Amino acid sequence: MPEQFVSAPLRRRAVQATLAATINIQSIMMEKTWRWFGKKDKITLSMLRQIGVEGIVTALHDVPNGEIWTVEAINDLKQYIESYGMRWSVVESLPVCEAIKYAGPERDQLIENYKVSLANLGKCGVKTVCYNFMPVIDWVRTDLQHPWPDGSSSLYYDRVRFAYFDTRILQREGAEKDYTEEELRKVAELDKVITEAEKDELVDAIIVKTQGFVNGNIREGDKNPVAIFKRLLSLYDGIDRDALRENMRYFLSAIMPVCEEYGVNMCVHPDDPPFQILGLPRIVTNEEDIDWFLRAVDNPHNGLTFCAGSLSAGEHNDTRELAKKFAKRTHFVHLRSTAAMPGGNFIESSHLSGRGHLIDLIRIFEQENPGLPMRVDHGRMMLGDEDKGYNAGYSFHGRMFALAQVEGMMAVVEDELKRGVTL
């Protein structure tokens, strides 16, 4: 390939490989990527190039779930990204339709469409696909701008407020059984003081603003989103943990031949938060879950998106131990961290603190599976981000700040590797 057509990240990796060979470094540092929501994203590729982003994580957001991604559409976006000196590193995501998850009658046709899209991505040289197998609802937070003393804000999960949404707004049958007497007492107290505006904000946070741009099940502007959400939940009546596991195994078994033919790596995102909610089975929550789906379809193209934030939100998980065990089957890394609080609450913490232990994770991955694409995730709202209309959790200044923090950690680890320091 003529040099003028070689993307900047590829040239960078060639230089790094030469340097590594010269000074006997055992790894090439993680690729710095950024989740970008396409040409309509208020954060432009020119902005990202200026802050050192090397790879883009994106999707064909205009294609409805279940429809085929064409070679023409993939190449159009890929070439657009490359025109800014970056590469399309990871697809996040090629959505897995609900009917695949609950095994609806259209499942097999949807899987066939999925296989064609995967093949087309592989033909175009886009080889890593992050997806999730969470029923109905993706990541869950009750407050999208929880304030910090310094004036910035983070995403926050309040278990009592979520219980209020579940029992009093959604009015899910049998929901009370999922909460303690103390939690239900606090729900009753909250009901006495919560305003209608606060109820609307809770609905927006849980099922509208965090879901519309992620999975398309519910979008801003939909009338009566609660009713839509309840209909989606009803699709999973009778689907328990074992059934959902079997449906995941069925899906992965069906697509693996295509992944092998075109060299495409699938990497599932852990459930966020990593515990059961809304009576739905969640099956990627801990070590046992991850071990199960990797063994169920034991193929190197069946792998993990290691999201330190999602995993660290469960006090049962130690991100460092999980990274050591599953590094070889990890294809993509999300570096963020959470701080757990009493009562089951958690907040997106600084990337330098919390239960994510990010510098330790960088050390582990650079020794066990070097050079993986990495993106910072769920940055704070800061320095005017709140007025820019960014997607919830995807601010510019907050993520740029987080990227700088992670770059500092990567520099420390790179220096350790040069000096022969190991775990």
Among all residues, which ones are annotated catalytic?
269, 307, 334, 377-378, 394
With beta carbons less than 8 A apart as the criterion, state whether 136 and 280 touch.
yes
* Secondary structure of the chain in HEC code, one letter for each residue: CCHHHCCHHHHHHHHHHHHHHHHCCCCCCCEEEEECCCCCCCCCHHHHHHCCCCEEEECCCCCCCCCCCCHHHHHHHHHHHHCCCCEEEEEECCCCCHHHHCCCCCHHHHHHHHHHHHHHHHHCCCCEEEECCCCCCCCCCCEEEEECCCCCEEEEECHHHHHHHHHHHCCCCCHHHHCCHHHHHHHHHHHHHCCHHHHHHHHHHHHHCCCCCCCCCCCCCCCCHHHHHHHHHHCCCCCCHHHHHHHHHHHHHHHHHHHHHHCCEEEECCCCCCCCECCECCCCCCHHHHHHHHHHCCCCCEEEEEEHHHHHCCCCCCHHHHHHHHHHHEEEEEECCEEECHHHCEEECCCCCCCCCHHHHHHHHHHHCCCCEEEECCCCECCCHHHCCCCCCCCCHHHHHHHHHHHHHHHHHHHHHHCCCCC
| Nearest alpha-carbon partner for 312 in 253, 354, 256 | 354
| Token digits of residue 342 | 């009493």
- Give the number of other CB atoms < 10 A from CB of residue 239: 17
